[in-house]
Structure 1
Amino acid sequence: MVSLDITDLQRAEHGLDTSVYRRKIKAHTDNAILYGTDPATYPVRAVLGYVDALAAAGRTDGPLFVRIDRHGHLAAPLTRHGRVIGDPAGRMTPEAAGDVVARLADRAGLDGQWSGHSLRRGFATAARRAGHDKIRTARVGGWSDNSTALDGYMEDADRITDSPLINIGL
């Protein structure tokens, strides 16, 4: 996600469209960000609100996910010995995105260990629990069709609801 630029988002009837390069499968995948049903987690509203906040701060192009300081301001470029280091446009690193996920999960009172990868794992698990097809989930999430990692997430989702111990007379 941190590789996205603001201009990569295209408004569409269903919400937003974007294309993301997936290093593991070495290909771009077209992705739809759909309108949600829960106002607390409505993804299109959240993304557009964030884009509006970036525009209000004077940023209408460049990286979508940027470094923000502890005061909520766009962070200045990082320097070492007077030379700019990192992304001069302020693009957030994958590690920083993971730190944000962990901090927000902690702030929300969620148990467990959280990271940027939790977003992928949570998507796969929620999709499976909702009854969505494994292949379709793999393609939307950027896994290969025969991903063993995705199989593990599916196993976690099925452990209780699809247990062979259900309805066998115990």
Structure 2
Amino acid sequence: MTINQAPDVEFYLDAATRKNTRRSYEAAVRHFEVDWGGFLPASSDSIAKYLASYAGTLATSTLTHRLAALAQWHIEQGFPDPTKAPLVRKILRGIRAEHPAQEKQAKPLLIEQLDRIDRWLADAITAARDSGQRGEHLRHTRNRALVLLGFWRGFRGDELTSLQAEHVQLAAGEGMSCFFPRTKGDRQHKGVTFHAPALARLCPVSAYLDWISLAHIESGSAFRSIDRWGHVGDDGLHPNSLIPLLRAIFSKVGVDGADEYSGHSLRRGFANWAAADGWDTKSMMEYVGWKSIQSAMRYVDSSDRFARHRPAPLRQIDDAEQ
């Protein structure tokens, strides 16, 4: 950039917001304008009517998200924020009172199910390799790495699909680190590094190494699509494809209620495993990256020991698997 060249302000403003957040906000504004027929800039009265129109139909959390999107649109366009009006806040309180609902959570993947899935994938990898089915060999190898890394690191779906191979450091038999320049909990945009251990069983390190070696991936998206001819795509898996992918794997393995699982099932599964294994609250939060106890508690079943904040020494994952 020359000294006289104007900086690309829009580029950096765009970079300040995560892609998933930006997409969801755009969809929320489109819903208000197109689906409901609202006008922008909006008045507090029209916002209140919009909320009332979908009360009981959409979850309160969804309506709150729509408000955040509308608030951001008005602020960015230089208009007063109508969502802060007392009328809107009162309507939202009334909706919460009349339509209370328990937050819907992903079904956690249990350690026994993870073991079963891994054995099935290992057998499928061997069968595909021996029969010369490169596409299936690649697909099962990728899926094994995806599931094991997602579980043991407690990754969100968007973290798994955005992981870049050049940001992964591997030490076979020891562990691996995954650096994310941007992630949901990183409000300062400093980047976050997560570490995962090498395990005696269900090892995410060896599974990931098998995948990138087979697919010849050195940089770019770590987890990619594979076509019917066994060609590995250049782009990463789309975040929306992760849930169908996981459900298809679980269904093939014979996991009951496969359609009840989502990308968060790996994260919740790890949280419940760690809780049952005696991890205390602080250790759990530091490992997964939660900033508050409330965030951590959302991922652990209330009946678990973690919910009672029982302190316990931190054990190595591989020690528990012996």
For normalisation by structure 2, the TM-score amounts to 0.40
User: What is the one-letter code of the residue matched to 1:130?
Assistant: D
Q: Cα distance 1:25–1:62, how it changes in 2: closer, same or farther (>3 A)?
A: closer
Q: Secondary structure at the match of 1:147?
A: helix
Q: Which has the higher helix share?
A: 2
Please tell me whether residue 110 in structure 1 is matched to residue 258 in structure 2. no
Tell me the equivalent position of 1:101.
246
Tell me the equivalent position of 1:33.
196
- The whole-number CA distance in structure 1 between the counterparts of 2:289 and 2:230 is 31
Tell me the equivalent position of 1:15.
175
Q: Cα distance 1:72–1:131, how it changes in 2: closer, same or farther (>3 A)?
A: farther
- The whole-number CA distance in structure 1 between the counterparts of 2:291 and 2:240 is 23
Q: Percent identical across equivalent pairs?
A: 27
Tell me the equivalent position of 2:287.
140
Gaps of 5+ in 1: 76-88, 163-170
Measured after TM superposition, the shift of residue 126 of structure 1 is 0.7
Measured after TM superposition, the shift of residue 45 of structure 1 is 0.9
User: What is the one-letter code of the residue matched to 1:34?
Assistant: P
Please tell me whether residue 154 in structure 1 is matched to residue 288 in structure 2. no
Deviation track 1:46-101 (CA, whole Å, cap 9, x = no partner) reads: 0000010121xxx42111011122454324xxxxxxxxxxxxx4111222122221
Structure exhibiting the larger radius of gyration computed from Cα positions: 2
Between 105-114 and 15-24, the greater mean CA deviation after superposition = 15-24
Q: Secondary structure at the match of 2:224?
A: coil
For normalisation by structure 1, the TM-score amounts to 0.72
What RMSD, in angstroms, separates the aligned Cα atoms of the two structures?
2.4
Matched-pair contact (CA < 8 Å) for 2:165–2:222: yes
Tell me the equivalent position of 2:69.
none
Q: Which has the higher strand share?
A: 1
Deviation track 1:11-36 (CA, whole Å, cap 9, x = no partner) reads: 24731112233214435332112111
Tell me the equivalent position of 2:219.
61
